[in-house]
Structure 1
Amino acid sequence: MKILLVEDDLDLSGALSRVLAPLGHQLVCCADGMEALVMARRQAFDAIILDLGLPTLDGLQMLQRLRDGATTTPVLVVTARGAIEDKVMGLNIGADDYLAKPFDLAELQARLNALLRRSRGEEDLSCGNLRLDRVTGIFYNDLRPLDLSPRENALLKALLRNRGQAITKEALREQVFGSDGEASADAIEVLVHRLRKRIVGSSAEIMTLRGVGYLLIDEAIAGKDD
């Protein structure tokens, strides 16, 4: 993804570059509002991360001119201005999301990914607060990324695709182990046991349906139905 980062704080700009570049994003950095406006009009970007306190042209003014010129690139505003009126003004002008400084880099990453998904009409796979980010392929418990092995990742993805529906051990074995004929149904049981420990703290629960298989549900919703 090609992202225009408009930020005059060079330390923050460098930190964002170090976080986003390894995820496959191509970052174009600019510290001047007028220069960034010209770049945003002449080049195609997948998203813009926009600070408001900029030299030569204020971030809100830049955003206004972009929208007046029919530029629809998704814009994530990041600013030290915490007043609610600034936030409302930015959203009314055409910002797609707003993040107040100081912020956690993981939260900015999550908000940016959500912005990119919405712009492409994609939705995450989720169950309660357990979510698969389609852009990065990373699972999150709220904003906390989960450290999963490749097979744990494949198992959770299969369960999420069938959330709310029973899925057999054999179907899971095929999706997780593929053509590995040595993998047994017992291997799935071991993997499910490990995965349950990984998702502790989320509202998602892996239920065992004896003689059938497994079921991934949102405990919060299931509790309301009781």
Structure 2
Amino acid sequence: MRVLIVEDDAALAERLAALLGEAGLVAETVGDGREAAYLGCTEDYDAAVLDLGLPQLDGISVLRHWREAGRVFPVLILTGRGRWSDKLAGFGAGADDYLTKPFQHEEVVLRIKALLRRAGGHADPVLQAGDLSYDTFAGRFSLHGEPLALTAQEHRILAYLMHRKGAVVSRAEIGEHVYARDLEPDSNTVDVLVGRIRRKLPPGLLVTERGLGFRLVSEPEFRD
């Protein structure tokens, strides 16, 4: 899952990116409002962390720009402005959550995870596909109640498929949502990683839709 961090405090942005990375997410940072407005409209992010006090273009204008362009990914606003009028403006522009500075950096991770889960239509923090479980808060997979060993890239791909359970996910979509914009893999790399994941899961749980992509199902499917 890709998250855009829009924050002109470079040290804070890098710290948040590191924490989100440790949580299995792909975080990209930008410190300029105009560039943020452009990236949010041209890249496939799953969520954004948005500061309000930005150079070139303020955060509220950035958010309005995204929403007017039809971008619906959840947005968590970070700001030093604690007045009710500022919060009202943020929610009015299309924000999904609001956090006032100073804050615990780890809280940003928890809130982003919650926003991602709700955006995928999941109420329970533990996602389930057959005997496979994914604890979105802890960032851990388990199979038959036992920890499932995955590489970092396998973890990111399977986490994305869990959030999109039941939907056909193309190779291109995996590349856009699991990798940073300058590290998108070729389709063969995705196939190899998905193949490795499939071998670690019960047969029939991760289905290949020929010519379309992959689908993680609630119960194993077996085809002739």
TM above 0.5, yes or no, is yes
- Paired residue total: 139
Residue in 2 that maps onto 1:89: 89
Q: Deviations over 1:66-119 (max 9, x none)?
A: 111111111000011111110011011100000001100221111111100010
CA distance in 2, matches of 1:33, 1:53: 9
Residue in 2 that maps onto 1:75: 75
TM-superposed CA distance for 1:125, in Å, is: 4.9
Aligned pair 1:39/2:42, yes or no? Answer: no
Quick one: higher RCO (CA 8 Å, sep 6+), 1 or 2? 2
**8 Å CA contact retained: 2:24, 2:139:** no
Aligned residue type for 2:31: A
Q: Secondary structure at the match of 1:91?
A: helix
Percent of counterpart pairs with the same letter? 39
Residue in 2 that maps onto 1:113: 113
Aligned residue type for 1:134: D
CA distance in 1, matches of 2:68, 2:125: 35
CA distance in 2, matches of 1:125, 1:2: 19
The list of structure 1 runs, each at least 4 consecutive aligned residues, that deviate by more than 4 angstroms after superposition, is none
Residue in 1 that maps onto 2:21: 21
Q: Secondary structure at the match of 1:92?
A: helix
**8 Å CA contact retained: 1:52, 1:58:** yes
Q: TM-score, normalised by structure 1?
A: 0.57
TM-superposed CA distance for 1:14, in Å, is: 1.4
Q: Secondary structure at the match of 1:121?
A: coil
What RMSD in Å do the two structures reach over aligned CA positions?
Answer: 2.4
Q: Deviations over 1:32-53 (max 9, x none)?
A: 0000111111110000100000
Residue in 1 that maps onto 2:3: 3
CA distance in 2, matches of 1:83, 1:101: 12
Aligned pair 1:135/2:136, yes or no? Answer: yes
1:120-199 correspondence runs (5 A):
120-125=120-125, 134-137=135-138, 154=145
**8 Å CA contact retained: 1:124, 1:134:** no
Residue in 1 that maps onto 2:53: 53
**8 Å CA contact retained: 2:125, 2:136:** no
CA distance in 2, matches of 1:58, 1:38: 13
Q: Deviations over 1:127-175 (max 9, x none)?
A: xxxxx98324459xxxxxxxxxx8xxx49xxxxxxxxxxxxxxxxxxxx
Aligned residue type for 1:47: A
Aligned residue type for 2:54: L
Structure (1 or 2) with the larger CA radius of gyration: 1
CA distance in 2, matches of 1:118, 1:60: 23
Q: Identify unmatched segments of 5+ residues in structure 1.
A: 127-131, 140-149, 156-226
Q: Secondary structure at the match of 2:135?
A: coil
